[in-house]
Structure 1
Amino acid sequence: MSHISEIFGSSVFNDSVMRERLPKATYKALRKTIDEGLPLTLEISEVVSSCMKDWAIEKGATHFTHWFQPMTGITAEKHDSFINPTEDGKVILEFSGKELSKGEADGSSFPSGGLRATFEARGYTAWDCTSPAFIKNNTLYIPTVFCSYTGETLDKKTPLLRSMECLSKSAIRVLHLFGNEKVTKVTPTVGPEQEYFLIDKKIYDRRKDLIFTGRTLFGAKAPKGQEMEDHYYGSIKQRVSAFMKDLDEELWKLGISAKTEHNEVAPAQHELAPIFTTANIATDHNQLTMELLKSVALKHGLVCLLHEKPFAGVNGSGKHNNWSLSTNDGQNLLDPGKTPHENAQFLIFLCSVIKAVDEYADLLRLAAGNPGNDHRLGANEAPPAIISVFLGDELTKILDQIASGGDISTNKAGKLTVGVSTLPAFPRDTTDRNRTSPLAFTGNKFEFRMVGSSASIASSNFFLNTTVAEVLENFADRLEKASDINAEVSSIIKDVVKHNGRVIFNGNGYSEEWVAEAEKRGLPNIKSYVESIKCLLEEKNISVMEKHKVFSRVEMHSRYEISLEKYIKTINIEALTMLEMSRRQILPAVISFGAQLANSINQIKSCGVDADISANAELLKEVTSLTTQLSKEITLLDKKVSEAQEATHDSYAQAMLYRTGVFAQMGSLRAVADKLECIVDSKLWPFPTYADILFNI
């Protein structure tokens, strides 16, 4: 590999490239747009586009694309070449400011939730200059927003950018009241930890369920899973290590600061974590990371699975969204300092998150949800579906003492020794980590642990940004009217502890006791993704998103319909795949095995030997009984799917039919098939088993 400092960002039109190539006046104007949100003129765009084109062509680019993030959950792109024909039959390479700033895409062929009719096709993409352009596969990629002809947002980037703006405005108001007059911008920063599975491509190709749905719809547990706890942080296999090496290089070229990689808990599972960057760029980088995980894996004869639960019986994959707030002068607003009880500014920002999470828990639950994550949340491998905040004992104690008006004392962080004389003592963290908490404070950031591995992190961040912005605005209103700011800070903290402290929980989120305790506290327990979607129609949620201009009422309704449609289509595809595999692969295999057993019994009998064939007969009896049951379960699933497909009068009712009818019946069918897998001759079983998949790299 080339020296890292030489390849890092080599495919990115980043700040250093712009400073080098753009005229000084153009560079300053572009920086003002990026830093201060000022409009960019067409004249400036023309200069930038010319320099960007020359740079891209030097790097081998022949095409450009407006790269956007529609509501499909993945990215989209349409490629155009730089060529422009001349009268003499040749071509010149051109790229105008207009082409850089604005593009056109089909606005009706992407999910719109009813915003666009099929015959109304026009949609627009517009350059997001806050996220740098880059080159991939000889194409210049220009990050853009995506909206309809009538102006409604059709993507995930637009609301994220809007939420970042409103959060900055509210946070600045508060900071100025604390004397931080030099702060002109506050930016949410994010570091998403990405979990994934790697399996052999040849094995993948023999599993229709993995091909069509991303997860195994059938599969009995292998004799060995993760119970030995030997895979987590274990030695990385050579094939996987080679993949990680190539992946790092591709990520680094794109300026993605891939930092940490290791084996995860489940067999064949791994994790990648980058260094923090702005929420917008972190979201773009995470989308690129997911794309590169898949494409680089294929080069090594592997397939990367990003589904939240590709295998039953072992841990699924999530994505920890580490979120913090940074100022333009280098402050981390969630850093407690050495004496958090004396840091009024920190406590105000801490309380803003607590209050936002409590009052808008349903939006965060929705942001973390998707059909795949329903298999994980609350299943003792991921945070529970109940939203709570972990602060640790010290911060909780400080808030309680302020609320009660008593003297404040803290647990001074001492030194922790490890009992080995050759190792130095190292500072003790004032809080432990709580892996069962949906939203855990981990020193200077909040770790939102519920997000699914396949999901865009945009939703989690724009809901978190907007709701925290709303609370900070409320705090700023109070502080601006106060004659004594310190007294008002104390009053705000007291109010938050009194009215929102119910969401603070430092215990075991996996326990049944917590479920009962959460119910007593009045915390919502939204158990499925479908149920969480209803929150998009809640008036309080529409109101806060409209107020901060992140979503309009119409856009909230569109996302309600899009989310339901996605769930319905996902479960429908899974069910149809299950029916095909059951009828065309499993059923013929078990019938064939039953026939072999029957023939063997008849052959033994025909020999005239007085042999004990009770074991053969019992096995045949069990196989035929399960085969009959399998056939019945297939018929029932077929019926449930038909009923759900026909119930099109109401999207929510239809989605619930898929949840309570189709999805539940899929579980019943799988249970029978998995029993048969453990009995049928392995040579006859029609596709690779968990043992084949998870332990064959």
Structure 2
Amino acid sequence: MSEMLEKKDQKDSIVDLFGSKVFNVAVMRKRLPKHIYKSVMRTIKYDEPLGREDAEVVANAMKDWAMELGATHFTHWFQPMTGATAEKHDAFISPTGEGSVIMEFSGKELVKGEPDASSFPSGGLRATFEARGYTAWDPTSFAFVKGTTLYIPTSFISYSGEILDKKTPLLRSMKVLSNEAIRVLKLFGAADDVHKVTSSVGAEQEYFLVDKDMYAKRKDLILTGRTLFGAMAPKGQEMEDHYFGRIRGRVRHFMRDVDKELWSLGVPSKTRHNEVAPCQHELAPVFSSANQATDNNHLIMETLRRMAPKYDLHCLINEKPFEGINGSGKHNNWSIATDTGVNLLDPGKDPANNLQFLTFLIAVIEAVDRYPELLRSTVASAGNDHRLGANEAPPAIISIFVGDQLADVLNELLTGESSGKAKERTMDLGINATPTFTTDATDRNRTSPFAFTGNKFEFRMLGSNQSIAGPNIALNTIVAEVLREYADALEGSDNFEADCREFLKGRLEAHKRVIFNGNNYTDEWVEEAERRGLPNLRTTPEAFAEYCMPKNVEVMSKNDIYTDEEMKARQEIHLEEYSKTINIEAKTMLSMARHEILPAVMDCEKDLTTVLSQKAAVGIETKDSVEAVMVEKIAALAKDLLAETDALDAVTEKAAAIEDAQEQANSYCADVIGAMNALRATADELETIVGKEYWPYPIYEDLLFYV
């Protein structure tokens, strides 16, 4: 009986915990006057503007609620183009003039903030002396309390109106997608009760956990987030025993507390498990709007990093912390749904005759085929270049997996014939005690970069450290553009169903080349993709060279997402970020090679030559001795290491001196990374020879297989 009560208390406590630090709908319903609450709900649901007087009431209620949770400060929480979040904390206090203070928070402070707009990346949109910027409250993403601060999600723009963040264009892309989707729904007579169509996202987050003390001994992990040196451990992931395996005690307690913290912040953390690589894990939340999902993913990454030290761990969210084992990605599950609860990518029981579904499905297929360079650039980064195409993540070629059932449906649309292959079937294990169950109509494809998985598309190319805003801005916008064209073509049709089918047949025929249901990891697919004319932008510099293609600039400017200047600014920001990342990594390698590895190698050589001298002094032959062979081998490698260190230094200085952003990124990619790889290969070979007691930092087996 006591155990049952304990479990009930735990269930009740989780329900009470969820969203307890969030100024959500339930809190607003309780604390706001009825007419103010309704006004805020219209803002959230239908994007209606909120009046200044209403904002004053909301601000006061929000302040009182936050203070009850221990808040003393507030911050406008925004997402600059660093890819991270930013915050400046202000106290609620306001001096009275009598030597005391009162606690105030006005509607003006809620709606608008003024951070410095010159110290964040702007790609030339702002000069250093042009410092004024504005943060603007986003009522569609709930405020929350973390620590002693009230966090208010906001957009971030310059004094002259240029977009300096990732939230503003995301909200704009969601708006244009909603508008064009509703136009299409009206053609089907399905939009009478629909006021809004929302892109929904569930972003799975992969990460590594390493021992905090060992992390502190690795300069490369501290400065770059990944190991720049390191020979492969005797065991990696080849036994396939870590994936979904038993979770280590320390890690399990860490995950438990991460969930509790996220639940209190209203983040619906749902799934946790071990990933493929040793000490790699995953957290996945329930779907929410693209805007809230983006905010939530930033909270997830921040919480993972913040909670890890409590368990003597350090969280690595870099895409490739360790060479030779899987890196970490972020799977972006994307769908579109009406505010009446209809998922527009749900095939239903008869997808071949579900013309509305086929329209939205083919619109997505066409959008991805027309704008692959744009999508590819949204997932491009120095870290992600190590994953894509490495038989652990999709290749850099954008293609779509639709599965057997939808492939058959689409083929029927094109040819009028159906193979009938993909049908529901019952799975019988031949064990009487095990119930039979119905299988899905199609399998899953983990090698595809853009896979249909039942009622959504899973964009699998994102790097673990990236904001999900960029990919979803692109997806929302390009799909909206295609839907606009569909609505323009079909509005006013006298025989809508026949015209729609014929129209979709033509669009599918023109863009079916992007559909590929096979193994994306094979060399044969790379060759086939080239024959189909699909771009293969293998590196970040290659991807961003295509970012400002006329068609990409046009689709963004036409839909009021970015201006031409804002597109060019983002291109420059990402190229500069890439070059800076590689430059930091190269300099870190140089420092480690000169100050740590070479001295360690020389200490080993010194001890070996001492032994040789001692043997010779007592008349022991040393010509072919173990010590002599080892000294010769180590000395040769040390000489190579020194030469490769100097070579890396030279090409890094040369790349750093290049002024053009694209040319500089190209140089870092072609020259500096090549020199880094050569230096690493020699150092890693030395690691396998030099005694562990000499090696200056923890090796892979220590990092990956801690207790």
**Which TM-score applies when normalising by structure 1?**
0.99
Matched, 1:667 2:685: no
Q: Aligned letter for 2:242?
A: H
TM-superposed deviation, 1:394: 1.5
State the alpha-carbon separation in 2 of the partners of residues 582 and 591 from structure 1.
12
Tell me the secondary structure at the aligned position of residue 462 of structure 2: coil
Deviations 1:366-411 (A, max 9, x none): 1111110000000000011100000011211111121123468463
State the alpha-carbon separation in 2 of the partners of residues 373 and 86 from structure 1.
53
CA contact (8 A) 2:404 2:421 kept: no
Matched, 1:150 2:160: yes
Q: Aligned letter for 1:376?
A: R
C-alpha change, 1:406 and 1:98, in structure 2 (3 Å) is same
State the alpha-carbon separation in 2 of the partners of residues 499 and 474 from structure 1.
15
Q: Alignment length, in residue pairs?
A: 696
Tell me the secondary structure at the aligned position of residue 281 of structure 2: strand
Tell me the secondary structure at the aligned position of residue 341 of structure 1: helix
The corresponding residue for 1:616 is 627
State the alpha-carbon separation in 1 of the partners of residues 381 and 222 from structure 2.
19
Matched, 1:343 2:346: no
Match of 1:162 among 172, 175, 190: 172
Tell me the secondary structure at the aligned position of residue 451 of structure 1: strand
The corresponding residue for 2:340 is 329
Matched, 1:126 2:133: no
Tell me the secondary structure at the aligned position of residue 125 of structure 1: strand
Match of 1:680 among 680, 690, 704: 690
Matched, 1:316 2:308: no
1:141-220 alignment runs, 5 A limit: 141-180=151-190, 181-220=192-231
TM-superposed deviation, 1:602: 1.5
The corresponding residue for 2:469 is 458
Q: Aligned letter for 1:75?
A: T
The corresponding residue for 1:500 is 511
Matched, 1:481 2:481: no
Of 483-492 and 679-688, more deviation after overlay is shown by: 483-492
The corresponding residue for 2:482 is 471
State the alpha-carbon separation in 1 of the partners of residues 494 and 512 from structure 2.
26
The corresponding residue for 2:363 is 352
Tell me the secondary structure at the aligned position of residue 336 of structure 2: strand
The corresponding residue for 2:5 is none
CA contact (8 A) 2:622 2:628 kept: no
1:434-583 alignment runs, 5 A limit: 434-583=445-594
Deviations 1:325-353 (A, max 9, x none): 11011101111011100100000000011
Matched, 1:253 2:264: yes
Q: Aligned letter for 1:531?
A: E
Deviations 1:585-630 (A, max 9, x none): 0011111111211111121111113577433222111100000000
State the alpha-carbon separation in 2 of the partners of residues 204 and 419 from structure 1.
50
State the alpha-carbon separation in 1 of the partners of residues 444 and 419 from structure 2.
24
State the alpha-carbon separation in 2 of the partners of residues 658 and 421 from structure 1.
62
State the alpha-carbon separation in 2 of the partners of residues 485 and 167 from structure 1.
22
TM-superposed deviation, 1:162: 0.2
Matched, 1:140 2:150: yes
Matched, 1:376 2:380: no
State the alpha-carbon separation in 1 of the partners of residues 166 and 576 from structure 2.
17
CA RMSD of superposed structures (Å): 1.1
Match of 1:5 among 3, 15, 33: 15
CA contact (8 A) 2:409 2:418 kept: no
State the alpha-carbon separation in 2 of the partners of residues 444 and 210 from structure 1.
39
State the alpha-carbon separation in 2 of the partners of residues 683 and 263 from structure 1.
32
Tell me the secondary structure at the aligned position of residue 94 of structure 2: strand
CA contact (8 A) 2:408 2:422 kept: no
TM-superposed deviation, 1:572: 0.5
Deviations 1:623-652 (A, max 9, x none): 00000000000000000011001111x110
CA contact (8 A) 2:411 2:418 kept: no
Matched, 1:224 2:239: no
Q: Aligned letter for 1:96?
A: S
Q: Aligned letter for 2:346?
A: D
State the alpha-carbon separation in 2 of the partners of residues 420 and 116 from structure 1.
68
The corresponding residue for 1:25 is 35
State the alpha-carbon separation in 1 of the partners of residues 646 and 419 from structure 2.
66
Structure 1 gaps of 5+ residues are none
Match of 1:690 among 688, 693, 700: 700
Match of 2:102 among 92, 103, 122: 92
Deviations 1:449-498 (A, max 9, x none): 00000000000101000000000111111110322111122123212321
Matched, 1:49 2:59: yes
CA contact (8 A) 2:422 2:442 kept: no
TM-superposed deviation, 1:554: 1.0
Q: Aligned letter for 1:615?
A: V
Of 139-148 and 180-189, more deviation after overlay is shown by: 180-189
State the alpha-carbon separation in 2 of the partners of residues 696 and 96 from structure 1.
51
The corresponding residue for 1:398 is 409
1:238-277 alignment runs, 5 A limit: 238-277=249-288
Q: Aligned letter for 2:16?
A: E
